[in-house]
Amino acid sequence: MILASFSLKGKTALVTGSSRGLGAGIALALAEAGANVALHGSRSVPESTRKTIAAAGTRTVALAADVSVESACVQLMDEVLQAFGGIDILVNNAGTIRRAPAAEHSMEDWNAVLATNLTSVFRLTQLAGKHMLEQRSGKVINIASMLTFQGGVFVPSYAAAKGGVGQLTKAFANEWAAKGVNVNAIAPGYMATDNTAVLQKDPERSRQILERIPAGRWGVPADLAGAAVFLASHASDYVHGQILAVDGGWLAR
């Protein structure tokens, strides 16, 4: 009986930033749990990911939109609704990072990161939420970060955005929990993705990071699969406003 509560059969999900990395891994996990999945790429349609996920046997579409632009968020949601007729699960994963010392961090970088990593989360949650509130059910999963809790170094715009994602998660949950819509977040630890390529290539920094992770390794996209399916399913119906760290024990150290 308990395993049935994790099934996503018949559900429709949109996973932003799912052309590769964490987003692709989450999208595959949702599809394997039975969900139909709308994939999203910021610059191009994630066709290769679509082919991989189609093998799971559920329906999938691949869409492109620059979610840093408000009108593109509206268009993206319209395309998902046209393709599937509704939306049950939204995973706000699209993100970018710009590195520079705080005193030299440009306004261009600040605005670009905040638009993609925070404003798009707010707008897409609004748009999906209108349908979820009407049907009195839905799951929103925001992708937070270790920098939701910590300040980081050389990434002030990213830290500010991910801190905001944590607070948005709680704000939406406070309003929507009683209306059948769950809003939660996953905070990945140090993951071996494009966003951390600079850190992985720096021998000293990589060593320092690995020494702090009790699990003794960098995370991989598949490490988020269980958390994503849990928060997208009926198994988490009484979980609201939480930020679930999947970090190999980083925060506990």
Catalytic site residues? Answer: 158
Q: Using H for helix, E for strand and C for coil, what is the string for the chain?
A: CHHHHHCCCCCEEEECCCCCHHHHHHHHHHHHCCCEEEEEECCCCCHHHHHHHHCCCCCEEEEECCCCCHHHHHHHHHHHHHHHCCCCEEEECCCCCCCCCHHHCCHHHHHHHHHHHHHHHHHHHHHHHHHHHHHCCEEEEEECCHHHCCCCCCCHHHHHHHHHHHHHHHHHHHHHHHHCEEEEEEEECCECCHHHHHHHHCHHHHHHHHHHCCCCCCECHHHHHHHHHHHHCHHHCCCCCCEEEECCCHHHC
